[in-house]
């Protein structure tokens, strides 16, 4: 499956990681498929489903959400799930107010409450809790586009936070660790072009290296072609922003010295 993703120029977001506690490889595949479909790569999602089938893997969760959209929980199953979801919130130090309002109601009402809870927590920055709620709800059989959307968005934000924490740790280390941090940031920007905080941090790091002095070999080599391309792309973005008024200070300085 990883080879299939590579051939289709897709960097796996879940399949390349080992399952967390309480998860299985099938859970990772399900989330990879959800991510692919959310990004408009249903073609690759279908190829992965076929590859899984050849290996004897069959599960209703591998099908698109629309195929299971009418699935609901009975009162007993809804009560059990509500208890689990509230426990997730409690462990995270959250009140679970929206979920509590669904006590004694059916699966459809619980699903609506779960979506509201996930949305509220996501907006407050509790991405890890949102991910835990969403994954538990999906395993129990809840399935709604808004539930999946909240889950995918929080998974992306959590991935960003985790990566930047790792980058911060590497940047505090030796030269080889800092080089590794640059590599991680470049790969992250390639996979997620909207990852602005990562882009800003990379620019700061590159500027620090450029400002260290003429003896820094980076001033001549720009590390490698990918870094050079990233700097050039950022330069073009700045030029596009200022092309209307022609007030790019850097360009004026270059013209004056020419």
**Domain end residue (candidates: 127, 157, 187):** 157
Of 66-70, 212-216, 217-221, the one with minimum mean pLDDT is: 66-70
Six token digits for residue 237: 């973005």
Count up the domains in the chain and report the number: 3
The answer for residues whose C-beta is within 8 angstroms of residue 153's C-beta and 6 or more apart is 122
Most confident stretch, 9-13, 45-49, 69-73, 216-220: 45-49
The answer for residues whose C-beta is within 8 angstroms of residue 152's C-beta and 6 or more apart is 34, 35, 38
224 in the same domain as 188 = yes
pLDDT band per the 50, 70, 90 thresholds, residue 244: low
Each residue's pLDDT tens digit, 90-99:
999 999 999 9
61 in the same domain as 85 = no
- pLDDT, position 252: 46
Q: What is the DSSP letter of 95?
A: -
pTM, rounded to two decimals? 0.59
Of 118-132, 219-233, 241-255, the one with minimum mean pLDDT is: 241-255
Burial class (CB in 10 A: 0-12, 13-18, 19+), 56: exposed
Query: What is the average per-residue pLDDT within 114-138?
Result: 93
Look at residue 167 and tell me if it is in a domain. Answer: no
Look at residue 195 and tell me if it is in a domain. Answer: yes
144 in the same domain as 81 = yes
Each residue's pLDDT tens digit, 145-157:
889 889 988 999 9
Phi, psi of 150 (to 5 degrees): -60, -40
Q: What is the mean pLDDT of the chain?
A: 80
Each residue's pLDDT tens digit, 155-204:
999 999 999 999 999 999 998 899 899 989 988 888 788 889 999 898 88
Look at residue 251 and tell me if it is in a domain. Answer: no
Q: Which domain holds residue 7?
A: 2-67
Diameter over CA atoms, the chain: 78
Look at residue 125 and tell me if it is in a domain. Answer: yes
Residues above pLDDT 70, as percent of the chain = 79
Q: Which of 225, 205, 231 is nearest to 216 (CA)?
A: 205
Look at residue 255 and tell me if it is in a domain. Answer: no
Phi, psi of 10 (to 5 degrees): -120, 125
Look at residue 123 and tell me if it is in a domain. Answer: yes
**Domain end residue (candidates: 19, 50, 67):** 67
Q: Comparing 223 with 208, which gets the higher pLDDT?
A: 208
Q: How far from 151 is each of 48, 116, 175, 218, CA to CA, in Å?
A: 21, 12, 37, 41
Angstrom distance (rounded) from CA 191 to CA 160: 11
179 in the same domain as 229 = yes
Length of the chain: 258
138 in the same domain as 87 = yes
Q: How far from 118 is each of 88, 133, 141, 208, 247, CA to CA, in Å?
A: 12, 7, 16, 40, 45
81 in the same domain as 144 = yes
Angstrom distance (rounded) from CA 37 to CA 40: 5
Query: What is the average per-residue pLDDT within 72-81?
Result: 84
190 in the same domain as 124 = no
pLDDT band per the 50, 70, 90 thresholds, residue 35: confident
33 in the same domain as 82 = no
**Count of Cβ atoms closer than 10 Å to residue 224 Cβ:** 11
Look at residue 19 and tell me if it is in a domain. Answer: yes
**Domain end residue (candidates: 157, 187, 213):** 157
Taking the CA of residue 198 as centre, how many other CA atoms within 13 Å lie in the half-sphere pointing to its CB? Answer: 26
């Amino acid at each position: 499956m990883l080879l299939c993703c590579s051939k289709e120029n897709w960097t796996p977001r879940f399949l390349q990681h080992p399952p967390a506690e309480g998860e299985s490889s099938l859970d990772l595949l399900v989330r990879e498929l959800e991510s692919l479909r959310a990004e408009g790569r249903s073609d690759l999602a279908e190829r992965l489903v076929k590859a899984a089938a050849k290996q004897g893997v069959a599960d209703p969760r591998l099908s698109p959400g629309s195929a299971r959209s009418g699935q609901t929980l009975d009162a007993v199953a809804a009560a059990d799930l509500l208890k689990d979801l509230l426990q997730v919130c409690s462990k995270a130090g959250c009140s679970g107010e929206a979920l509590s309002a669904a006590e004694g109601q059916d699966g459809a009402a619980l699903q609506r409450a779960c979506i509201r809870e996930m949305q509220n927590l996501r907006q407050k920055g509790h991405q890890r809790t949102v991910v835990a709620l969403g994954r538990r709800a999906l395993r129990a059989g809840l399935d709604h586009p808004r539930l999946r959307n909240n889950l995918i968005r929080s998974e992306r934000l959590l991935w960003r936070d985790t990566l930047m924490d790792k980058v911060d740790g590497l940047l505090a280390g030796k030269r080889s660790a800092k080089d590794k941090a640059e590599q991680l940031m470049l790969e992250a920007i390639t996979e997620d072009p909207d990852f602005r905080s990562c882009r800003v941090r990379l620019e700061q790091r590159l500027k620090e290296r450029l400002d260290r002095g003429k003896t820094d070999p980076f001033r001549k080599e720009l590390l490698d072609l990918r870094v050079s391309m990233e700097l050039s792309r950022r330069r073009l973005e700045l030029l596009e922003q200022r092309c209307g008024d022609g007030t790019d200070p850097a360009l004026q300085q270059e013209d004056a010295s020419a």
